[in-house]
Structures are given as structure tokens and as C-alpha cells.
Structure 1
Amino acid sequence: MSDRARRSYFETLLPDNPAALDVLSVNYRSSPDQWLDEWQRYAGDRPRRCAIVSIEESAGSGADAGKTRSDSNTVIQANSPTDLTGLGITISQYLDGNGGPQTVITLESLTILLQYVDLQRAFRFLHVLANRTIESGSVTHYHMDPTAHDEQTVVTLESLFDAVAEFDDGEWIVRCR
């Protein structure tokens, strides 16, 4: 997203008090420090508690490879961008301890995820994740660049979600199913 779209995302699509949130960020695009800095810059404060799953192709092995804690933040180095089973376990463990209406999961980005796994595998993973999120009472924001995918891919993934938000002409347009 552009800087303008990111700022608007934080101002428009997140709850009013981001400092009261528990956040799990599944991140393919930036380092944990960059993610936290961006959150603080746009939201005005860090989340109450957050875990950042940092996904890199060269990550070590083991479910807790590279796991570190500081203050109320946890960074978990994922095994591999193709290890959706391990990622699903990590997300479920987080939801078991932190799920609820003040929990937001951000998956950044579906576009990068689809560089590592095919659409069918991603769809199955996201279907389970969407159901798991609903069960926990949490909210998940999935980010993707629709211009990077064919229309069938976009429509297929959109079918999984309760709402789709698109940044157009400086505003978010939200379509609910």
C-alpha cells in the first residue's frame, strides 16, 4: 500500500483505540522493528500486546525458531514461507491465549504468500484461518495487491471473507457479503 493508503488504513479500518488491541502480525514484507515503527507512526501508539510472525525463506527450523520477547512484544521466526501448517499452529496458539474482540490479526501479504504456495493450498489455509478467527471472536485483516493477480484469483480469495475493503481515490470502500 502507498503511504497514504497505509495511514488511512490505520485511521479508518482499525478500532478507535489501537493501544488497547492484542495484535498478531503475520509479516512477509518487513522486519519486526519496521512493523512496530510503522504501527506506532500511524496508530499513534503501540498495541497493548503483539506478536509478530516474521516469515523469511531462509528462516531456521523448529516451531519457535528465533522466538524472542521484549516488553509485551513477541517475535517468532517462521520456519519457511511454504510452511502453512506451522503458521496455522502458531496462529492457533496465539488465539488460544489472546483471542477475543480486542484481537486483530494482520496477514501481510496474500500477494507474497501466493508467490510461495499455489492458490488452492492458500485457499484451504485461509479458509481454516477465517473459521478459526470467527471461533475466537477476533478479527483478521488480509492484505493483498489485487492488481498483481488475475481476476479469478481475486474473486476466489474474496469469497472467503465477510468484507472486502479497497482503497480508491483516497478513500476506503468496504463491501460486505
Structure 2
Amino acid sequence: MNEIEIDDDSCNVLVTTDDARTCTGCLDRGDPGRRAELTVSYPDASAEQRGFGDHGRTQPATKGLISVDDTMRSGAAPASSGPEFTGAVAQDAIADPTNLQRLGTSVSEFCQRWDGEDYDIVVCFDSLTALLEYTSPEVVFQFCHVLTKRLESVDAVAHFHLDPSEHDDQTVATFQSIFDETVGRETQAETMDVDYVEATDDDIAALAEGWSEEASYSIVGGTYDRPDDVTEATDDDIEQTLADRL
């Protein structure tokens, strides 16, 4: 297996190459007997599942798959119930690709489960280019900013695919600024002027606990946005709170 060179301190990596060995190299880190591997896939956007199901490499102890905009979910649990951990591969399906609250909840639940079982967590997010087909760069930027902080909090090693040929240099440069390292093509363009709120400790705690309890505040919201009694937010509520941040 050819290994790619990634700094040991890099928890979140942006991958801007389509070389499948790069994805595999990002996933094959540490002891496979203690590794839990999560893939976020956008099958309806024709994104490749680069690392998932590659039997030519050492397989991890456990796997999870979040399919976004996937109408072919298997299993008896309804789509709104969250990840199903009973099968050989833990699965979740999210019908609405614009529902980042739902996606964040799912990722957080995988993190909670596997971190509690003392697994080394690796994540493949395939891909930001697919996500950007449904949601504005500003909202995706803010979502990724908080999500990467959540992944850091459980010592996960995550990589996010982005096809630079599908975006202008300014967009690519803006996403580069979130990540610890970029593997593949880089750009020195000016970043977008995105007015986002720095994630606080409370925001990260909300990702660990609040999302799985259907918190009603935005993933980028400050403590002043949050009601005393947490109830499930509607899509309009989340959209409005995100819009207020931009």
C-alpha cells in the first residue's frame, strides 16, 4: 500500500486530487483493529465512494456509511431515526441534502458511539463539491468550520474531497483556510469574505450532545441564540438562523 505524506498533527485534511490512493492513504492510519471508518457519500450527485468497500486494503474493525439524498436506504428503521448500528455496516440515510442540521446530528452520533467504545475514528467526506450543489459556499463553509472542530474533539482524522475544477480559485482558497492541510492542488487566491462566528466550547459541546437531542439552534449559533427549552427546529428555523450569520 502506498502511503501519502500527511503531517501527524493534521486532523482535518482537504483532498483536491482524484487519485484514489490519496483517499485510501487518509483512511489507513493507525491500528486497523481499533479503527472505525465513516464515509459520508452523495450517490445521487455521482460522487465516488473512494475508500468505502475497497477490499484491496486492510479493513477496519467497524464501518459506517451516511448516504445523503439516497432513496434506497435498507433496513427497517425510518429515515428520521438516525444511524442504525445493528448491521455489518452501520448506516444512515438523509433524504434532504440541504438539511445540514440532520447531517451534523448523524456524524455526531457516530462520533459519540465510537469514541465511547475507544475506537480510532477516521472519516471520508465525499464530497464538498457534491454538497455545494445544494447549499451556498457561505453556509457550507460555516458548517465545515464547526464540524471539523467537533471531529477534532474526538481525535478523529478526517478528509474532505473537493474537486477544484468545479469551483473558482476564491472558493477553493476559502475552504483551504479551514483545514490543517491540503493534499493535491492548492491556490493562492484571496479567500471569500465570509462573516462567521468562531466556534466556542459551547458550540462544540452542542455538536456532541445537542444535535443528538434535536437542538433548535444553529450549528454556528452563539449561546445568546439558544432557548432555555430545546425543541426540534424546523428547516425554516435553521435556514433563518444561518442566514442571520452571513
Greater strand percent: which structure?
1
Q: After the TM superposition, which residues 44-123 of structure 1 pair with which residues of structure 2 at under 5 Å, given as runs?
A: 44-45=58-59, 47-56=60-69, 58=71, 62-64=79-81, 67=84, 69-71=86-88, 73-99=89-115, 102-123=120-141
TM-score under structure 2 length normalisation: 0.56
Q: Which residue number in structure 1 is paired with residue 183 of structure 2? A: 165
Structure 2: which 5+ residue stretches go unaligned? 1-16, 187-246
Matches of 1:92 and 1:38, distance apart in 2: 19
Cα RMSD between the aligned structures? 3.0
Determine which of 1, 4, 7 is the counterpart of 2:21: 7
| Displacement of 1:167 | 6.7
Matches of 2:168 and 2:39, distance apart in 1: 26
Residue correspondences, number? 161
- Give secondary structure in 2 for the equivalent of 1:43: coil
The amino acid that maps onto 1:95 is C
Q: Map Cα deviations across residues 21-56 of structure 1 (whole Å, 9 max, x no partner).
A: 1011111138xxx949853334243x2111100111
Identity, % of aligned pairs? Answer: 25
| Displacement of 1:88 | 0.4
The amino acid that maps onto 1:51 is G
Contact 1:22 1:50 in 2 (8 A): yes
The amino acid that maps onto 2:100 is L
The amino acid that maps onto 1:64 is S
Greater helix percent: which structure?
1
The amino acid that maps onto 1:54 is S
